[in-house]
Structures are given as C-alpha cells and as structure tokens.
Chains A and B, each alone.
Chain A
Amino acid sequence: MKLPDKRCRIDQAIATIRDGDTVMIGGFGVPGTPMTLIRALVAHGARDLTIIKNDANEPGMGVDHLLRNGQVSRLITTHLGLNSHAIGLMNAGDIRVEFNAQGILAERIRAGGSGICAVLSDIGIGTELAQGKQVVEMAGKPHLVEPALRADVALIHADRADPFGNLAYVATARNFNPLMAMAARCVIAEAETVVPLGALAADAVHTAGVFVDHLAELKELSGDYAVVQR
C-alpha cells in the first residue's frame, strides 16, 4: 500500500475559498504564518471573510494584506498590538473584531478539531470578556461556555512535510498551526520542504496527514518570512 499524494498548486487549492468563508490562519507573529498562502488568497480575492488568527501580524505583513485589500469583514483574534492599521480598521468600524483570551482561542479551536461542541472555563469571569456568554455551574463554580470554533478552510505553515501531508513544525512557528490543521473542512498546508514518503519519521510527525487536504511546497522563501527589522 502507498499513501495518497496531496501535493497541488497553491492557486488551485486557494480557488476553493468562497466569499463569506471562515478562514483559520496559523502563526504567532511571523513564525508559522503561511505568508505564501495569504498572498495567494489576496490574489484570489474572496471577500467578506471571517479570519481566525492569533494576531494580525504587522502593517504590510501577512494578514494585513487581506485587511488592506478589503477582504476581511470579521476578525476573531487575541491581540492586535503590533498592527496599528488593524486597530484603525476596528476603531473605524470597517472590521468587526472579537477578542478571545489566547489560550481560550486555542481551546475553542482544539474543541472544534476534536468533535467537541464547547469548552467550559472560568477564564475571564468578572471581566468584559465574559459579557454575553452563557454561564453554567460546574464543580460548584460558575464557568463560561466557550463554543468550539471550526472554519471552512485552514491555512497552515509547516517546516517539513511528506506528500501525504504529514507535517512537522519548527521552533515557535508551531503555535496555532497543529490546532487549526484539525479544525477546518478543508486544510491547505504550505511546507518549506517536502520530503519523500518515509523520510519524515513517524515519530517526528506533529500533524498527521489525515487532517491535511492539500499540500504545497514552497520552492523558495520570500522576504515575507525573514527576520523583522524593527
């Protein structure tokens, strides 16, 4: 037996994204942000997107290209502190922003990828992040109901992959990628290197290829991935 080959052209994979879709995008800052897939989504032009991403990168980088192209109507995130442009769009009412506690965003995504409809947590009780959320009593204490998050598409950046879509991440580029890679109907991964089947040791796989639908090899890394000079 041989595992299927999921390698494809980036533009063909991205072409499945439709107006109004919810798109998860991995990354925490530059590390782990699928810069090439984002550029392809900008070129594709799908609009009215809900983006789920930890942060909005920085002005002129990553997700900010989607914001500047007017493709984003809603952003589910934790922190925009490094992107003044995104904060400006939020304050002007041009995008709707839902802030989550960072670990709760991770757990909501993990639940979405695990077939669990919500998680309960006491994080944020007594703060404005609790406003409007259902409260249930559990273990004698109030907990907030945090609904699972799923997306139509997840865009993932991996360091190494094999043709089946087994993925391995590197350093702090892991962050939300393995969680989002489980939580979307269609998972598109870009990998810096694609090795032959068997060359990525079974023990070294961080995301099992079962979760991945399309895999694109990055022939060369653009400057988008470089160390940010501040």
Chain B
Amino acid sequence: MLTTSWWKINSAVSGTSSKDMPQVIAWLNDLANRFASIFLSPIAWLPGWLSATIVGVVTGVLMLIVFKYTSHQSAIKQTHDQIKANLIALTLFKDDVRVGLRVQGRILAGAGRLLLLSLVPMLVMTIPMVLILGQLALWYQARPLRVGEEAVMTVQFVSTDEKAVNLVKLNPTDGVALSIGPVRVPTKHMVYWSIEPKQSGLHEVSVAIDDQTFTKQLAVGDGFMPVSLKRPPRQWTEMLLHPREPAFSPESSVQSIEIGFPDRDSWTAGTDAWLIYWFVISMVAAFAIKPLIGVNV
C-alpha cells in the first residue's frame, strides 16, 4: 500500500472540484509556502537522510500532540483495553471454540470502533498533513536537472481553444536551451519540448500564445532544491499536490505545464522512498514519545 507513489495518489484523489475550493487551497498553499520557506530551508544544506529524519520526527511528534487533543482519549483507551482483554481472553478461555469465536468477533468490533474514533483526528490532521507532504514532495520527490541534462516540458491546453496548440511557442531564456520541439499533439491538446539547462539556479521557462505569456519554474543544480514538477490547473486536488506555483485560471488557454524532472535515488530522501521513510520515522518517533506525553492512539 505504501509503495503507491506520491504521484499515483494524484490519480486517486483527482475528481470532484468545487467552485470556491481552489481559492481556499490557493490561500493554504500560500501560507504553507511561506512557512516552508522558513522551516524547510535547512533541507537545502543538510544531508538528505538527516533532513528526512528530522522532518519525520518533528511531524510525528506534532501530529501525536494534535491527535491527543482532537481525539476522544478515554474512549480510545477503553477500546484498547477491551481489545487487549479480548486478546488475553483468547489465551485464557481456549477450550470452547464458540467462546473463542465470540471473543474474536469482539476484537474485530473493537478494531472497527478504533477506526471510528480515529476519524475526527484524522480529519483534523488531513489538511495540515496534505500541506506538509505537498511541501516535502517538492524537496524529495524529484531532483533538479543538472546542467546539460535534457528534460521534456509538456504544456496542456484547454480543449475548447484548438488554435492555441498551433500558436504556442517557447520564449528564449538565458539559462535554458531548446533541444527538440515543439512536438504538437492537437488530438490531446498538448505540446512537448525537450529542454536543456545551461546554468544552475532557479529559472523560469515561459511559453507564449500571441501576447499572453505563461511561466513555469525550472530547478537546476546538484543538491536539494524545491522542485515543482507541475504548474497545475485550477483544480483543488492538483493544487494540493503541486503547491509551489500558482494555478492557471480556468479561463486560461494553458491548463498546466509539467517538466519531467529525474528521480532522486535514495532510500531515505529519494523518489517515492521518502514517503515510506517519512511515514516509518514519524510513526517510530511518535510511538517513542507516546508514553512521555501520555497519548492513547
């Protein structure tokens, strides 16, 4: 389950969007970007494993505290106790199979109750966790392009503007060279370019349709930098997953611009693996701290 890639989550959560929801997400993303620019900036100069560990520990402890104050602690403790009692009962009263099955039924019911009781803290934590994971993904999900390393940039157009696919052009930029393209696919309302960075740094690549310009961040370098894979359309799920750049408005001809950044190869701070590592570390940290702050989870 955990091996599901961060970006595969995208497909799982995509769907419903509401008229007002994107604006809320835009505000939250703005807030998260400001916080992250302060609190996550050390990732840039720390070793990946260390920063991933620190982030995991801190978020684990913070979430545990949130859990403590948003959950029905006494009900959770009681349910835990009931589950434990029933587990002990399995060892004490094992002669009668009917008694055993009844006890197991109660364990299942207890597990269900535990899930229900975790619903409220889960809901409360969903928003901050999505924002935090969105920010962490910027750092760990992909690595920046290296100088001279080619990548494909994809621009997705709105289906109602058929001319845009043919009119779009890549604006020349000092730090980035065009190697191939544009490749236009009118049936999918897409245009591709292969680009090649010439200098390290955080660049902006822009495309133009007539007098309109659309930009996309491009991270180039060797270490850790926030890498925005996609400038998203104005859909709240997409905006949550790609929080760094402002979304395109629904009226815009361009709906998204995506750059195929390479995977980062690391067990702790690499593509996909960072999420598993973060989850494990945050769990371990919270379990370790649990007795000290007296939380029933």
Mutual binders A and B: no
Chain A interface (Cβ < 8 Å from any Cβ of B): none
